[in-house]
Amino acid sequence: MGAVTSSMAAKFAFFPPNPPSYGVTVDGATGKLRMTEVAEKENVDVLKVKTKRGTEIVAVYVKNPAAKLTLLYSHGNAADLGQMYDLFSELSIHLQVNLMGYDYSGYGQSTGKPSEQNTYADIEAAYECLKETYGVKEEDVILYGQSVGSGPTLDLGSRLSRLRAVVLHSPILSGLRVMYPVKRTYWFDIYKNIDKIPLVQCPVLVIHGTEDDVVDCSHGKQLWELCKEKYEPLWVKGGNHCDLELYPEYIKHLKKFISAIGKSGHLRNGSVPSMDQRDNAQNSSDCRPRQSTDQREKSRSSTDHREKPRPERARNSIDRFGEMMRSAVLCNIDCFKPVGTKGKHFIYMFHTTRPYTSSSPYPFALHVGRRRPAGTLIQRWCNQSSVLMSRIYQVSSSACPEVFKIIVDMFSNVLDDADI
């Protein structure tokens, strides 16, 4: 199970810049670490920090003499410290905070490989460094997570009870939900933020762009709705996934938030927005959630009643199904491997050797072909003697029949178009 989950994370979630945008050297005169390819600044410390999983991550600590609070920033995907360096400096100045940013294992000049569990160890190591090296107290820490960084941010935030605040910037509900709005959390999902956000005890600010084409705005909205201690969210009208910092309201709203939590600690007794404000945020027409899978199920017509075949549309749907399989990277994770490629029929097969009975396995197959009704759902083994196969994916013994169910659920709208 763990191998499947970690492999899914490595293939789907992480895209470290290659080559890294910076290097790390030792200053011959002072013995201190410095970053190359970026402007050296007196108020920035460069550190290497060991994690409990054995990797060594690179971190930067930006000091502001007027600061009372410290921001621990977990950056997004496809970025490293060299690319975030200038933003960190600007945030430290405008928000009047100290700021620590770090690279995940396998990012920048950090050692190791990216994985979900490594990012959890990475943020924990950065947090411990703040406490031990700089004497920062838990109640003076603000966790800031951008995109994929919302995963380690909420993992740590759900385990610390005295944090000052949490900021979620274009956050994800979970890794799987970025691909499709599934109705429940599955064991092979990663970054299960939807399950962790209710455990966060401090005020939470959510920032999301209404035109985000990578992580839909509904992710941020649903996380905000699940917060125990809400702060007025910021839905950046017209904002995409990687440009929110360019909007004036971004820094303005952040400054307002930092000021509020700086005055009163946890936002209680008046600092939390009123119910009217919450209702307005929930009803914002600029941030519409995707249609739920429950709504999709209600709108789908019966498999027994089809007005007429739609061969061209079905063919397009088959192609889309294949594209979604590849984009979901399901054929790249340990659990799924191709076992046959020939013929003109399209067959996607999910088979488990874990039996329903002690005598035989319980196989599942999804078959989309020309001769049989498009998208027939069968519960028996399809072998080469009866069907020509072009693509087959076989689930290993570590999986279970639940895997098949989630695949069908994920692609229900595509399968509907294919006349299933």
Q: Around Cβ 50, how many Cβ atoms within 10 Å?
A: 14
Is 302 one of the annotated active-site residues of the chain? no
Distance from C-alpha of 133 to C-alpha of 208, rounded to nearest angstrom: 33
Answer whether the bond into residue 19 is a cis peptide, omega within 30°.
Answer: yes
Is 274 one of the annotated active-site residues of the chain? no
Active-site residue, from 147, 150, 158, 174? 147
Residue among 172, 174, 290, 280 at smallest CA distance from 235: 280
CA 177 to chain centre: 8
Is 241 one of the annotated active-site residues of the chain? yes
Count how many residues are written for the chain. Answer: 420
DSSP assignment of 217-267? HHHHHHHHHH-SSB---EEETT--SS-GGGSHHHHHHHHHHHHHHHHHSS-
What residues have CB less than 8 Å from 200, skipping those under 6 apart? 154, 157, 158, 163, 166, 227, 228, 229
Active-site residue, from 212, 409, 417, 419? 212
Residue with tokens 């899978």: 293
Q: Around Cβ 31, how many Cβ atoms within 10 Å?
A: 7
Distance from C-alpha of 75 to C-alpha of 226, rounded to nearest angstrom: 23
CA distances from 74 to 236, 240, 355 (A): 20, 19, 42
Q: Around Cβ 357, how many Cβ atoms within 10 Å?
A: 7
Active-site residue, from 75, 208, 219, 241? 241
Would you please indicate which residues are annotated as catalytic (active-site) residues? 147, 212, 241
